[in-house]
Amino acid sequence: MNRNTEIFDEDLNPVLEIASKEDLDPLVEYLKKKMSEFLTSSDVFKKYEPDHTRYADLIAKEIRDFGGNSFVNIFRGKGPSYREIVCDVAKVMKAPYNKSQDIEAIEESILTTILSKALEKMSEEEKKDLCNELGVSNKAFVKGGTALTAQMLFRAGGFASYTTMLIVANAVARKVIGRGLLFTTNSALSKGASILCGPIGLAVMGIWTAIDIAGPSYRVTIPAVIHIAMLRKKYSAAYCPNPDCDAELASENFKFCPKCGQEIGGRSVVAQVL
């Protein structure tokens, strides 16, 4: 894929450029939901679709175009930076953020806000089951409340934080395009997804009501930001060195793979860190 330096965004393009066509597919589906999109009318899309890796730069450009006011974009010649879009989404969703923070921190705050709302709708038993599936202590539910618990799950590191992020992205995909993401990481992920599916679905419904008030472009930018946050985490992850497993580990702290039990010490297979 040729890189167009004029539309390159350091917080967005590097993630999409290394993503698989399967991981890019939800982003394309989000864009196709809008009648004003231009991606599907481009020559390169018509030529290479469904191999989305061939036009990842156009996907990035389209996301940025949806993130800005169309009148302003005429004078810019392009959409706002991806950082501006993420900050805008955080503001609409009332997620705490600081513009000077790393992009990952702002993305995490957005997902934490969604998860916190979902946890409020969960029973104590569901919360314990979720922690058991993710392999983390459930004491935080007793001590900290939903906001602190959501932060704990995202900051637990390793498999738990990546899995939590993936579960949230999956619930959003179900709401927007009517189907979830492909779960190939671990059997525990499917269980965790089922535990959170209902509560996160209700939280997402509430968010979508706010989106209808804020403006239709958020129906693209919010799910896109959530999905990209998950991809950033995924492609910053370490992978199991077992060629028959290749599970995402999402941490340098694992001694054994949580999926196959392979010893991780001294492993040589590590994904690019973005």
Place of tokens 């036009």: 55
The pLDDT, as a whole number, for residue 154 is 73
CA 203 distance to own-chain centroid: 16
pLDDT at 268: 32
Q: What pLDDT, on the 0 to 100 scale, is given for residue 267? A: 33
DSSP string, 164-227: HHHHHHHHHHHHHHSS-----S-HHHHHHHHHHHHHHHHHHHHHHHHHHHH-TTHHHHHHHHHH
pLDDT at site 59: 95
Q: How far apart, in Å, do the first and last CA atoms of the chain sit? A: 18
**pLDDT for residue 269:** 33
Query: Any idea which residue has 């618990």 for tokens?
Result: 149
Mean pLDDT by 10 residues, the chain (274 residues): 68 94 93 86 94 95 78 57 92 90 92 82 75 66 65 68 80 82 52 61 66 71 92 76 61 63 51 32
Element (H, E) at 75: helix 70-76
